[in-house]
Chains A and B, each alone.
Chain A
Amino acid sequence: MSRDVRPLGELARAEGPDTDLLRTVEQFLFREARYADELDYDAWEALWTDDAIYWIPANGDDIDPTTQMSIIFDNRARIATRIKQLHTGKRHSQEPASRLRRLVGNVEILDADPEHPEDIRVAANVVIYESRERGITIWAAGLEYRLRDTPDGLRMAYKKVKLVDNDRPIHTLAFLV
């Protein structure tokens, strides 16, 4: 799948609408980040489409999740289970919840995925500081999204979190990445 950005000349010609779209996408990603950081689980869950995939691969970024282990490979039902578990108050790895702050940057709008031409394909980077009794853990990842324009606003149909250390031993990751 090509990650080529549009030629700069074309982007410059289309500056108005593209800038608007980029700003809209950025605002959406920042809002998602804030919901996750501030433990607003229901607001975060509501950002997903019904056909959503939430994926954190392991041992590389481009593995086959149907034959290889991933850290998370959730369909929409499993996202709901994850949120319900957090809501029980007995998800010990998040009781007490991690204190979190993340920075999302390097937001780019990519060419559409031919299999999902209706969705906006987005790349970004994220750095997350997680504080727990164990200490501070720093997480860094590249993000890939497919966002869908719906009557309720942008929604996530796909989010892939490419942790830089997904091939090494990592600590518990029970908060929403």
Chain B
Amino acid sequence: MAIADHVAPDWGALIQPDRVHGSLYTDPAVYAAELERIWYREWIYVGHVSEIPEPNDYVRKSIGPQDVIMSRDKEGQVHLLLNRCTHRANLVCDAPKGNGSAFRCPYHGWTFSNTGKLLGYPFNSGYGGREKKQELGLGRVPRVDQIHGFVFGSFAEEGPTLLEHLGGAAEAFDRLTALSPTGEVAITAGWLQHRAKANWKMLLENETDGYHPQFVHSSIFSVAKSGIGDLYGEKSTAVSRDLGGGHSENDLRPEFRRLDQPLGWFGTHPDRVPDYVRALEARHGAEKAREVLIDGAPHTMIFPNLFIAEIQMFVIQPLSVDETVQHVTAVQFPGAPDMNRRLLQQTIGSVGPAGFLLADDTEMYERNQRGVAVRDPEWLVIARGTHRERRDEDGYLIGDATDEVPQRGIWRHYRELMEAGA
């Protein structure tokens, strides 16, 4: 069975409750359909307001293969503009970031404001006096919304609100920002861009896969004498959770609460970051601060492209059916320099092309992509823990730490989106 054989793929045949078809990762027609039905329709994470703190700041971002400018106008409003001159399609912005009230296309000098409005073009008698300014503003992402400064965009003119889209996953932002003395995070450390010769869903599914850490990451767990592997063991009390809407998490709090060690999730101790702990206690009070420091940061995958990996942020960017870039940076907390140094140095060690963890994850994505091209068996099995899947008190499906509840949730939502059609 191959997608090319079908005019309209039978998504229900390709995506079954306990297995999915290999062509979903390899067929260019599937990828083309995903762009239309997921990447150019759903709420996609684009950037954080701290990346454009001042009026007229801008930064180049992406929505899948689309080149997007995230700008802040002089009134402070955030815009998501498409990086394409409306005249003959040159890129209007080539700097990765900067400050300026306008973008001037280098090809013929057309100039656009940072709100997307066409301000003018040289030799304007050439259009016979007919005014082009109204109709030829920059393309834009029509819906833009934020949660705790995290900016999302949707190419759909209408649809669920961002909060409706996030559903139960919105709590991840509350948990992350609870760890900040100011209640805000700063995404200011710059991004590593890690290329993978693999379909984007290999990354998506791996982010909340609690089954792989003990195998893929055993090398660094053993060398660094890390306890992280045990969180994803057979005896772990952590749970995997399908948050609905394709969102998923590995909820490690049951383990951290059992261990009852503030900052234990981060492998450190309050004595090592006294200024940070004092600042957090000033915000929350000592008792609440202790709870927050025991619970730690979320490990939550926001469908389809934002992974909050405790203290790191990953953004998944598909470029083609078998090429993906994973952008990654360290979360920083304003007003906590002692903690920020540790957050940054631990992140540099862990992630990116040379990271102790992510180099090996990326090796797995690429091996997976080669493996899925092998023709027999045609299926990938996502049945782990089906027999012990259950509902938590909020009604979400949960499983044991190593179960494939997140993957089944991802594919359930994916199928709904693909069946909803173009």
| A residues neighboring B (CB under 8 Å) | 56, 58-59, 63, 65-73, 78, 81-82, 84-85, 88-93, 133-134, 167-174
Contact = CB atoms under 8 A, between A and B. Distances in A.
Nearest to A58: B192
B197 interface: yes
B364 interface: yes
A91 B220 CA distance: 8
B289 interface: no
A172 B223 contact: no
A72 B348 contact: yes
Contact of B353 (A59, A71, A78, A167): A71
B97 to A, nearest CB: 10
Contacts of B279: none
B353 A92 contact: no
Interface stretch (B50-58, B120-128, B354-362): B354-362
A162 to B, nearest CB: 15
A169 B190 contact: no
Contact of B370 (A92, A133, A169): A133
Contacts of A173: 353-354, 359
A85 B189 contact: no
Contacts of B349: 78, 81
A172 B191 contact: no
A169 B325 contact: yes
A133 to B, nearest CB: 7
11 contacts: A59-B191, A68-B344, A69-B329, A69-B347, A71-B354, A72-B348, A92-B360, A93-B363, A168-B193, A169-B193, A172-B359
Given A66-B341, A91-B360, A93-B360, A170 B348 contact: no
A111 B218 CA distance: 44
A172 B353 contact: yes
Contacts of A85: 219-220, 223, 356
B224 interface: yes
A65 B341 CA distance: 10
Contacts of A168: 193
A72 B354 contact: yes
B352 interface: yes
A69 B332 CA distance: 11
Given A72-B348, A85-B219, A170 B360 contact: no
A169 B219 contact: no
Contacts of A171: 194-197, 353
Contacts of B360: 91-93, 174
Interface string B308-350: 0000000000000000010011100000000011001101110
Contact of A59 (B190, B219, B220): B190
Contacts of B364: 92
A172 B328 CA distance: 13
A90 B192 contact: no
Nearest to B370: A133
A69 B330 contact: yes
Given A69-B347, A92-B216, A171-B196, 10 more contacts: A67-B340, A78-B349, A84-B223, A85-B223, A133-B370, A169-B195, A169-B325, A171-B195, A171-B197, A171-B353
B90 interface: no
A69 B190 contact: yes
A170 B192 CA distance: 9
A67 B359 CA distance: 22
A21 B387 CA distance: 70
Interface in B168-215: 188-197
Given A84-B223, A172-B194, A173-B354, A69 B363 contact: no
